Amino acid sequence: MRLCFNLLLFILLISISGCQLANDSDPDEYAYDTFGMDLPKGKQLYLAHCIWYTDPLDISPLNYHKGTIIPFGTPIDIVKAGDGYITFQLKGTIRQFKIENDYPLTMLRDRPFFQQIFTPDNPENNLKDIDPETLADMKNGIVKVNMSREEILTVFGPPPKFMNPLSDITWSYYVDPTLKTVHVVFKNDKVSYIFET
pLDDT digits (tens, 9 = 90+) for 61-116: 999 999 999 999 999 999 988 889 999 999 999 999 999 999 999 999 998 999 99
**Alpha-carbon separation of residue 32 from 8, 27, 125 (angstroms):** 36, 11, 24
Beta strand 170-174 pairing with 190-196? unpaired
What are the residue ranges spanned by the domains of the chain? 29-123, 132-196
Identify the weakest region by mean pLDDT among 24-38, 44-58, 171-185: 24-38
Question: Is there a contact between 157 and 116 (Cβ–Cβ < 8 Å)?
Answer: yes
Which segments within 14-57 are labelled E, that is strand? 45-47, 51-53
Per the DSSP assignment, residues forming a β-bridge with 186 are 191
- Of the pLDDT bands very low, low, confident and very high (cuts 50, 70, 90), residue 23 is very low
Identify whether the C-beta of residue 120 lies closer than 8 Å to the C-beta of residue 44.
Answer: yes
